Amino acid sequence: MTDTPKPNGPLHGLRVVEMGQLIAGPFCGQLLGDMGAEVVKIEPPGKGDPMREWGQGDKPAWWRVIGRNKFSVAVDLRTKDGQQLARDLIGEADVLVENFRPGALEKWGLDPVKLREANPGLIVARMSGYGQTGPYADRPGFGLIGEGFGGLRGITGEPDRMPSRVGISIGDTLAASYGAMGILAALHHRNQSGEGQIIDVALYESVLQVMESYVADYSTSGFMRTRTGAILPKIAPSNVYPCKDGEFLIGGNQNPIFKRLCDAMGRPDLASDPRYATHLARGEHQAELDGIISDWTRTLTVAELESLLLEHAVPSGKIYTAADMVSDPHYAAREAIVTVDDPELGPVKMQNTFPKFSATPGSIRKQAPHRVGEDTAAILERWLGRPA
C-alpha cells in the first residue's frame, strides 16, 4: 500500500469495540472496519487472538486479513481493572461485537443490559453457536457445528461419502455477515429513536437462513434434500466437466442457452431431441446428458473450451485458484485484489474491501496490528482522554 490518503468509508465516525476471537466476531469487525468504522479489538495480554497464528503455508497470513483496519488494545478481562477498562471503552462506543459463549460477558461484569443502561445508544451484537436462549444455549459451538445443526453439512459432498466441508469457515462468516447486517439495521433504528439494542446471532440460524426451501420442501411434500455432489438435481446441464488439462463449469440449463451449447458442440440435434428439448426433460435425463457433454469436453483444453463457449454466449468459466485470481485482468480492473505491506511478511495480496460504494468507498487504511496491545496507549488517550 502507498501513503496515499484512503477514503473514510460510509461508517466513518462509528466506534466499535470488538471482543472475542477466532472468526465470527472478528470477521464482523473486519467488515465494519472495511466500511470505515474505527474498530478497537480487545485482546488478552500475551498471545492475543489465536487467529494471529492461524493460516496455511510457510507464512500464515490470515491475521493480516481479519485483523486489518483494527486497533489492538490489551485487556485482561479476568481482572477487576481490566473489566472496568472494558466498560470505559464500551461506554464510548457505538457498537460492541462479541462471540464468547453465552454468559461470559455477564461473568465478567459486562452484562449487555447494564452496559446499555450506561450507554443507551449502544448496539451489542452477540454471536454464539446456538444463540443466547433455548435449551442448547450453553453448548459450545464452532462454525462446523452450526453448519451441521443448520443443515448445510448434511447436503454438502458426494452422496456415497460422508458429509464434506465447503472449503471455508462458512458458518462463522455467515454469522458475521448477518451480524454486520443486523448492526446496520440497528443503526438505522437508533438514528430514528436514539436507542440501541441487543442483536442475538446464532451460527446455526445464520446457516439456516441460506438453506433455500430445504425446510419448506419437507414441510409441504416430505421431500428431504440429500447430498448430490456437483450437480443441481433436475437442473441440467449445470455441472463441472472434464477437459484435457483440467475442469470447467458450464451452466446451460435454460432452453435458448442449451441450444447455443448444442451448436457449440456441433450437435444441434440435441436441442430438438425429446429427451433434452425442455427443462423438465433434461432434468429427467440429467446423467446421460452430462455424459454426452463430458465426452465432448474431454476432447478440448480448458482454454479451447472457454473460447468456444464465450463465442456462443454460454455461461461458463474456469475454477479459479489464488494464482489465477492475482493474475486475472478482470480482478485487476476492479481492484478486487490489493497489496498491503506488512512489517513481518512484506507485501501481502488479499481481497479488497466489499461491497463497492460510489460515494463513500471502503478501504484498508491500517494493516493488522503486529503486536498485541500496540495501540493501547493511543486508544486510551483518544477515546478516554487518559495520558499515554
C-alpha distances (whole Å) from 153 to each of 20, 157, 227, 235, 337 are: 25, 8, 9, 21, 30
Domains, in order of start, for the chain: 15-211+353-384 (3.40.50.10540), 238-323 (3.30.1540.10)
Query: pLDDT band at 4, cuts 50/70/90?
Result: low
Q: Which of 297, 129, 301 is nearest to 203 (CA)?
A: 129
> Cα separation of 113 and 132, whole Å?
13
Selection from 107, 102, 98, 52 nearest residue 79 by Cα: 107
Task: Enumerate the active-site residues.
Answer: 172
Instruction: State the chain's mean pLDDT as an integer.
Output: 96
pLDDT in the model for residue 127: 97
Alpha-carbon span 84 to 99, nearest angstrom: 19
- Note the pLDDT of residue 6: 82
pLDDT-derived band at 106, boundaries 50, 70, 90: very high
Q: What does the pLDDT look like over 302-313, one tens digit per residue?
A: 999 999 999 999
Predicted pLDDT at 52: 96
Rounded to two decimals, the pTM is: 0.94
CB 176 within 8 A of CB 31: yes
For residue 3, is pLDDT > 70?
A: no
Pairing of β 238-243 and β 246-251: antiparallel
| Cα–Cα distance for residue pair 82/72, rounded to 1 Å | 14
Q: Where are the alpha helices (DSSP H) in the chain?
A: 24-34, 62-66, 80-91, 104-107, 112-118, 143-149, 170-193, 203-209, 214-221, 255-265, 279-284, 286-297, 302-311, 322-327, 329-333, 376-384
> To the nearest 5 percent, what fractions of the chain are helix, strand and coil?
40, 15, 45
- What DSSP line would sit under 339-371, residue for residue? EEEETTTEEEEEE--SS--SSS-----SPPPSS
Whole-number pLDDT of residue 157: 96
Q: pLDDT tier at 265 (50, 70, 90 boundaries)?
A: very high
Q: Is the peptide bond before 355 cis (omega within 30 degrees of 0)?
A: yes
C-alpha cell of 70?
483494527
Q: How many CB atoms lie within 10 A of CB 135?
A: 7
Q: State yes or no: pLDDT of 7 exceeds 90.
A: no
For residue 268, whether the previous peptide bond is cis, meaning omega lies within 30 degrees of 0, is no
Kindly state the percentage of the chain with pLDDT values over 90: 96
pLDDT at 201 over 80: yes
| pLDDT tens-digit map of 59-82 | 999 999 999 999 999 999 999 999
Strand order in the sheet with 238-243: 238-243, 246-251, 316-318
Say whether pLDDT at 2 is over 50.
no
